[in-house]
A and B are shown apart, each in its own frame.
Chain A
Amino acid sequence: EDQVTQSPEALRLQEGESSSLNCSYTVSGLRGLFWYRQDPGKGPEFLFTLYSAGEEKEKERLKATLTKKESFLHITAPKPEDSATYLCAVHVSGNTPLVFGKGTRLSVIA
């Protein structure tokens, strides 16, 4: 069974304190790994797609990386507005839907 596990479940950072969120997966044939941001009461908002091991993508203070077993979302010098739940999802093959992890709830304190 395809599985996606995110850690930690919750993370509290001081403003400016860099850290990383982890998404590990056990799937039979990864076609793509997706990162989303979700604010309370809102739908998930697309951040990145990674397709192959070694790939990296950046957007402002966020950088996503991918290996054969996991992905990291690195947050550099976070600000309070980065507070949100970050979701990871995998696309395995064919017409299968995205499989989501439970997310990491990030709080950045000023």
Chain B
Amino acid sequence: GAGVSQSPSNKVTEKGKDVELRCDPISGHTALYWYRQSLGQGLEFLIYFQGNSAPDKSGLPSDRFSAERTGGSVSTLTIQRTQQEDSAVYLCASSLGQPVVELFFGEGSRLTVL
């Protein structure tokens, strides 16, 4: 596609529910990243994919968070049993891969947990 596409753009959920956030990267980009941006905070790294494998999962905040990528393209970030502190904007980015070149970001998915 022309750019990184994320859905949904906004999601309001109740505490304890599971949510799935989707990212469709730029065609041909082998690397895909998930970041989280909370109000007044910088971008917090969550997980990185090279192809379908995730060499670096070090940023996932807890075992309630998981992510997968299939076909070297679309990625899904899943948050189970959501908590209020999970409220944030979840940003996906893709790049041509290593060595790191510029990341191209999507518009983000704003998650609000009530």
Interface residues of A, Cβ cutoff 8 Å to B? 4, 31-32, 34, 36, 41-46, 49, 87, 89, 91, 95-103
Contacts and interface: CB of A to CB of B under 8 A. Distances in A.
B45 A97 contact: yes
A31 B102 contact: no
B107 A91 contact: no
13 contacts: A4-B42, A42-B108, A43-B91, A43-B93, A44-B103, A46-B103, A91-B100, A95-B48, A95-B56, A95-B98, A98-B33, A100-B35, A101-B42
Nearest to B107: A43
A48 to B, nearest CB: 9
B4 interface: yes
Nearest to A97: B45
B102 A49 contact: yes
A17 to B, nearest CB: 26
B102 A34 contact: yes
B43 interface: yes
B100 A32 contact: yes
Contacts, number: 55
A41 B103 CA distance: 18
A87 B42 contact: yes
Interface string B73-114: 000000000000000000101000011111111111000000
Given A42-B107, A43-B106, A43-B107, A98 B42 contact: no
B42 A43 contact: no
Given A97-B59, A100-B43, 14 more contacts: A4-B42, A31-B99, A32-B100, A42-B107, A43-B91, A87-B43, A89-B43, A91-B100, A95-B55, A95-B56, A97-B56, A98-B33, A100-B42, A102-B40
A102 B37 CA distance: 10
Listed from nearest, the 10 A-B pairs whose CB atoms lie closest are A43-B105, A100-B43, A102-B42, A46-B102, A97-B45, A100-B42, A91-B100, A44-B105, A43-B107, A43-B106
Contacts of A36: 105
